[in-house]
């Protein structure tokens, strides 16, 4: 009997895989058998080394998604079965002070690059009459407004919407499109919040689990959505938030 949670023989490409959530997802995919292409604007050597030392298979590719079309050529030379769109940035400022640059920079990486990278992946899958899985990294701010992050909130609402739209179009064509919405996770993007005693206390007070999440918490959920066990899951946005949205 085949293991529905195995990715043996599959190739996965993870964007923003050099650190944090992306690194954890890349490692999680490798642990269940996938060969992993780790993509980042900086070398993903640490991620690749961790995977290879553990007996997995990984390579690193440079791509800067500040250029929204940077993913166009990522699927030319490899039969990639799984795409994880993790690359993302954030800008913080009061809405009244927010600049056009801070708006455009975030939207380009978090939403425009995600769409056109996914489009390129799908074209490659369809061309070989294959099957595939896409996991987008959404956010609690796909559902809530937040404060002082207008472009990030708009982009993550967009990620949720695109996840549903693409699932509607491609579910019958062999590609599963889903998303994971992380809660408050200990990463570089949340350092300012972790270091702010008032905000940190308020955040922890609302999380039923009583702690910030770890990147590995997201990796487990993302890996599941890439496996055959999730073959009938389409257009889902899986909250991994310690219970935040349940409050």
| Residues taking part in catalysis | 152
∠ CA 184-186-189 to the nearest 5 degrees?
A: 85
Q: Residues 195, 181: contact at Cβ < 8 Å? A: no
Task: Using DSSP bridges, classify how beta strands 82-85 and 57-62 pair: parallel, antiparallel or unpaired.
Answer: unpaired
Q: Residues 162, 112: contact at Cβ < 8 Å? A: no
Closest CA to 151 of 163, 162, 141: 141
Q: Residues 237, 178: contact at Cβ < 8 Å? A: yes
Q: Residues 189, 141: contact at Cβ < 8 Å? A: no
Q: Whose structure tokens read 């909250």?
A: 239
CA separation, residue 67 to residues 92, 108, 232 (Å): 21, 7, 33
């Amino acid at each position: 009997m085949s293991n529905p949670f195995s990715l043996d023989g599959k190739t996965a490409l993870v964007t923003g895989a050099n650190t944090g959530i992306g690194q954890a997802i890349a490692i999680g995919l490798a642990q269940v058998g996938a060969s992993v292409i780790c993509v980042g604007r900086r070398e993903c050597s640490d991620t690749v080394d961790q995977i290879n030392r553990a007996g997995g298979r990984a390579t690193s590719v440079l791509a800067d998604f500040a250029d929204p079309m940077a993913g166009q050529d990522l699927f030319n030379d490899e039969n990639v079965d799984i795409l994880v769109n993790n690359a993302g940035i954030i800008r913080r400022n009061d809405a009244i002070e927010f600049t056009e640059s801070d708006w455009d920079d975030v939207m380009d990486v978090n939403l425009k690059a995600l769409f056109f990278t996914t489009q390129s992946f799908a074209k490659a899958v369809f061309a070989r009459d294959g099957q595939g899985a896409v996991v987008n990294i959404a956010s609690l701010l796909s559902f809530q407004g937040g404060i002082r992050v207008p472009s990030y909130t708009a982009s993550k609402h967009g990620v949720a919407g695109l996840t549903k739209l693409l699932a509607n179009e491609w579910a019958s064509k062999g590609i599963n499109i889903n998303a994971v919405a992380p809660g408050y996770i200990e990463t570089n993007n949340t350092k300012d919040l972790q270091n702010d005693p008032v905000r940190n206390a308020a955040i922890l007070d609302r999380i039923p689990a009583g702690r910030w999440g770890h990147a590995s918490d997201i990796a487990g959920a993302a890996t599941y959505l890439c496996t055959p066990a999730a073959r009938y899951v389409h257009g889902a946005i899986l909250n991994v938030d310690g219970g935040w949205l349940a409050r």
